[in-house]
Structure 1
Amino acid sequence: MPTKLHWLAAVALLPCLYAQAPPKPQPPKPAEEDLGPVIKVDVDLVNVFFSVRDKKGGYISNLAKDDLEVLEDGKPQEVKFFTRETDLPLTIGLLVDVSGSQGALIEEERSASYKFLAQVLRKKDEAFIISFGVDSELLQDFTNSPGLLRQGLAGLRLNAGVSGMSPTGSPLPGSGRGTVLYEAVWLAAKDKLRSEVGRKALIVITDGNDVGSRVKIEKAIEEAHRSDAIIYSVMFEDPRYTSMAFGGSSGEGPMRRMAEETGGRVFRVSRKERLEDIYNMIQQEMRSQYALGYVATNQSKDGTFRKVEIRSKNKDQKVQVRKGYYAPDEGDLKKPSKR
């Protein structure tokens, strides 16, 4: 299985004193090499990605900075930069449910996912693929290679194992792991996206039912906030299985919560909207985002959650944005960018 290793180099500068030797003349400095644009990360700058839609659901593409109001914990903030066309890298984590309830859907998930990733990824963008059932598996680490992505998607396979289901298909109370949905989101955000820069999104294809995760949904959402990841929840259900195993209940509530908390949306595959159609909508949204940054008036490094609200002065327009972010702790260390 491919692995991407992130190496951290610690360089210690040791002063050396040569009291008896005169200083050597310094050679002329070579001309600086043009390395292209550099992304400078300011720990005091709060960066927010968001989209704006009209009453009919269409994306608004001509907003200016003065059309918006930004508040943190209810207090107005001064916007330092604002742009619609952002050239920041895009990192996508594709999380696919391969538990017992999804067995009949895997082939469609594989085909539509490949088309989506092949279309949306540009040269500097990357994606990774995780499947989850009774456990989580990294099928493909960070790449923008269509061949490697296809190979990773080829690894999608039923992962039911010992799911804690009764012979009728119903989950047994207090039984083992069955669909570690929240755990997969938590791991993807924490282990894969936390140290990435630029725009980050998790696309989660599932029926929304979690059985056996060792982390709660709150921790999964918290980790998505800490990694600045937007979650797009794609409800894809086999109605025959859902009605049998879960009594007709839907996992849409938790999936909607994860999406709305992080500034994403929830979609549902149906006869009118296929998985491929939903992927096209997600792609359109990611290419229609705005980005803004502000220096928070609250400069405390206390690690608390700060609520963020962006309002359009046009009441007919709806802003889709994450609910907030976690301020850094005083003891946090800056981590070098990997891009």
Structure 2
Amino acid sequence: MRLHPSLLVLLLIAVTSLALSAQEAPSPDASPVSTAPDTTARENNPVTTLKVNVNLVSLYFTVHDKRGALIPNLTKDDCSIVEDKEPQKIKNFNAETDLPLTLGIMLDTSGSQQNVLPMEQQTGSAFVKRILRSKDEAFLVSFDVQVSLLQDFTSNPRLIERGMDEAQINVGGGGGGVPGIGQGPVPVQGAPKGTLLYDAVYEASNDKMRTETGRKAFILLTDGEDQGSTHKITDAIEAAQKANAIIYVLLIADRGFYSGYGYGLSLGYTGASAMKKMADETGGRMIDVGNNGKKMEAAFQQIEDELRTQYLASYTPTNNKLDGSYRKLDVSCKGDGLKVQTRKGYYAIGSTEDSQGQ
């Protein structure tokens, strides 16, 4: 049968169209063709994320009556906060007994502590066993002619105890290595130096405490004498304040050591006033225990009680400039002879400078 010429043309067109469609159809192994909208313009012009810094000051503090007993049941209406002589409005106020706690145990292993180190090791280990819970953390640093990390952050009191047991008196030799807690000892230049106490607090504040959140406290076991630090006491205090860490000092002075060098106890060391300043400025306390084991046990118990009987108050300061300036604080609570124990001030640092703020 012969087809009409016009029908033959139509048939050829249909066959050609089918062949072209078959060539354009993707094979099962071909890469999928994206039907998503073009995002080139969006990638070249990224969306800006709005970041807001909220300047909220948080204060941990304890309150004692005139006999020294802790006061545990105050409310927001009982207390007031003044910043640079300007009253502040308290936004949040809570009694905190169970918040996670970060502890930095600082052990003086210089020559003057030779006779009292075993007492510090035993009593300090017992304290950590009592106070450290599963959600808490602690680290251990020794300081003498160098600053050494004996145990990094842990929730296991046995590891702190082991670090305590391994601590040794070091009166010379210096130290090499990269400066900074956790990266080796702080190097000393020239002749061996004595007791790098201020360097230890400064380094531990910046390298360990500043990036932590929540309640933070240092416990220094020392006679308070600093010899050879590259940082001053004001640097150490400022670093601790910026880390929002409280400093407790157990002042441990070995009477035998100082009398052996011909000094009277009152003249043999001058660390007490420096340690009191360091503790007071950060909201802690200095407790003089001498070389008496019972006094040391009692001091550790006082610190434990205070850390478990704290208030947390927060406010947005009327001065909202994040200019790095130091702001003086005065916290008071109503009651007969009540005494508030808290830091004396803070640095107005924004979150871009300090991830933890104040």
TM > 0.5 between the two? yes
Residues 52 and 335 of structure 1: CA distance in aligned 2, closer, same or farther (over 3 Å): closer
Map residues 134-149 of structure 1 onto 2, 5 A cutoff: 134-149=145-160
Aligned sequence identity (%): 43
Q: Aligned with 2:226: secondary structure?
A: coil
Q: Aligned with 1:197: secondary structure?
A: coil
Q: Which of the residues 323, 329, 333 maps onto 1:302?
A: 323
Residue in 2 that maps onto 1:57? 68
Residue in 1 that maps onto 2:256? 240
Consecutive unaligned residues in structure 2, runs of 5 or more: 1-31, 38-51, 175-189
CA distance in 2, matches of 1:99, 1:272: 19
Matched, 1:262 2:276: no
Q: Aligned with 2:114: secondary structure?
A: helix
Residue in 2 that maps onto 1:323? 344
Matched, 1:77 2:88: yes
Q: Which of the residues 250, 254, 270 maps onto 1:250?
A: 270
Q: Aligned with 1:257: secondary structure?
A: helix
Residue in 1 that maps onto 2:195? 179
Moved segments of 4+, more than 3 Å: 270-273, 333-336
Q: Which of the residues 98, 103, 108 maps onto 2:109?
A: 98
Consecutive unaligned residues in structure 1, runs of 5 or more: 1-17, 24-40, 164-173
Task: Note if contact 1:242-1:250 (Cα within 8 Å) is conserved in structure 2.
Answer: no
1:327, distance to aligned residue in structure 2 (A)? 0.6
Matched AA of 1:147: R
Residue in 2 that maps onto 1:158? 169
Residue in 1 that maps onto 2:226? 210
CA distance in 1, matches of 2:140, 2:36: 59
Residues 125 and 333 of structure 1: CA distance in aligned 2, closer, same or farther (over 3 Å): closer
CA distance in 1, matches of 2:147, 2:212: 21
For normalisation by structure 2, the TM-score amounts to: 0.77
Residues 178 and 223 of structure 1: CA distance in aligned 2, closer, same or farther (over 3 Å): same
Matched AA of 1:223: A
Q: Aligned with 1:93: secondary structure?
A: strand
1:335, distance to aligned residue in structure 2 (A)? 6.5
Task: Note if contact 2:53-2:351 (Cα within 8 Å) is conserved in structure 1.
Answer: no
1:275, distance to aligned residue in structure 2 (A)? 1.5
Residue in 2 that maps onto 1:168? none
Q: Aligned with 2:96: secondary structure?
A: coil
1:149, distance to aligned residue in structure 2 (A)? 1.5
Matched, 1:123 2:134: yes
Query: What is the root-mean-square deviation in Å for CA atoms of aligned residues?
Result: 2.4
Residues 131 and 252 of structure 1: CA distance in aligned 2, closer, same or farther (over 3 Å): same
CA distance in 1, matches of 2:356, 2:115: 43
Matched, 1:280 2:291: no
1:332, distance to aligned residue in structure 2 (A)? 2.5
1:86, distance to aligned residue in structure 2 (A)? 4.6
CA distance in 1, matches of 2:352, 2:53: 16
Task: Note if contact 2:98-2:308 (Cα within 8 Å) is conserved in structure 1.
Answer: no
CA distance in 1, matches of 2:109, 2:34: 71
CA distance in 2, matches of 1:188, 1:74: 32
* Structure with greater Cα Rg: 2
CA distance in 2, matches of 1:153, 1:198: 25
CA distance in 2, matches of 1:42, 1:120: 34
Matched AA of 2:158: G
1:22, distance to aligned residue in structure 2 (A)? 4.1
Task: Note if contact 2:210-2:356 (Cα within 8 Å) is conserved in structure 1.
Answer: no
Residues 19 and 265 of structure 1: CA distance in aligned 2, closer, same or farther (over 3 Å): farther
1:268, distance to aligned residue in structure 2 (A)? 1.2
Aligned residues: 292
CA distance in 1, matches of 2:213, 2:352: 21
Matched AA of 1:54: D
For normalisation by structure 1, the TM-score amounts to: 0.81
1:249, distance to aligned residue in structure 2 (A)? 3.1
Task: Note if contact 1:231-1:264 (Cα within 8 Å) is conserved in structure 2.
Answer: yes
Residues 279 and 330 of structure 1: CA distance in aligned 2, closer, same or farther (over 3 Å): closer
Larger helix percent: 2
Task: Note if contact 1:233-1:267 (Cα within 8 Å) is conserved in structure 2.
Answer: yes
1:301, distance to aligned residue in structure 2 (A)? 1.1
Task: Note if contact 1:235-1:267 (Cα within 8 Å) is conserved in structure 2.
Answer: yes
